[in-house]
């Protein structure tokens, strides 16, 4: 079972809207303040990547219920330039924007599950999930 809500990312304000949505969902599902901060931060980083590198995209937040265990899934989808070397962007300290926007390895550490799919010229799809402990 999954309930989804989405925010279209075009400008900086949409980043704020996306992380507020995520925080509200996390709070609603009973996540503590530390996990709320992790989820909010992860959304902020992913939304900023869309804003910086793709120009436009979507952040969707799913409430998951896996055998009664709640979770939050963040999907970041864009049809931007894509990433040609995923291994490189998953290395700590790699940046093409001088430290703005995030560290995908950071997002991976904040969340429990992390998947990335990208086709150069076609776009990027990232899914990151956090389960309630």
Partner 1 sequence: MRIPILKLYNCLLVSIQWELDDQTALQFQEDLLQKIHETSVSGVVIDLTSIDFIDSFIAKVLGDVIDMSNLMGAKVVITGIQPAVAITLIELGIGLNNVLTAIDLEKGLEKLQQELGE
Tell me if 37 contacts partner 1 by CB under 8 A.
yes
CA distance 118 to 25: 27
Q: Which of 70, 75, 77, 76 is nearest to 25 (CA)?
A: 70
Tell me if 85 contacts partner 1 by CB under 8 A.
no
CA distances to 89, 103, 118, 127 from 4, in Å: 28, 25, 22, 13
Tell me if 105 contacts partner 1 by CB under 8 A.
yes
Specify whether the CB–CB gap between 11 and 66 falls below 8 A: no
Question: Interface with partner 1 by CB under 8 A: which range of 41-49, 58-66, 82-90, 121-129?
Answer: 41-49
Tell me if 10 contacts partner 1 by CB under 8 A.
no
CA distance 102 to 118: 16
Q: Which is nearer to partner 1, 61 or 121 (CB)?
A: 61
Tell me if 36 contacts partner 1 by CB under 8 A.
yes
Tell me if 30 contacts partner 1 by CB under 8 A.
no
Where on the chain is the footprint of partner 1 (CB under 8 A)?
12-13, 15-16, 19-20, 23, 33-34, 36-38, 40-41, 44-45, 48, 92-93, 99-103, 105-107, 109-110
């Amino acid at each position: 079972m999954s309930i989804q809500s989405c925010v279209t990312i075009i400008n900086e304000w949409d980043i704020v809207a996306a992380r507020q949505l995520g925080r509200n969902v996390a709070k609603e599902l009973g996540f503590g303040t530390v996990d709320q901060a992790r989820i909010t931060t992860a959304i902020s980083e992913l939304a900023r990547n869309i804003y910086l590198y793709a120009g436009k995209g979507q952040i969707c937040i799913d409430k998951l219920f896996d055998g009664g265990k709640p979770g939050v899934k963040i999907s970041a989808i864009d049809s931007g330039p894509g990433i040609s070397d995923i291994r490189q962007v998953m290395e700590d300290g790699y940046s093409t924007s001088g430290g703005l926007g995030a560290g995908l390895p950071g997002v991976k550490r904040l969340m429990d599950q992390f998947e990335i799919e990208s086709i150069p010229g076609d776009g990027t799809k990232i899914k990151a999930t956090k389960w309630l402990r």
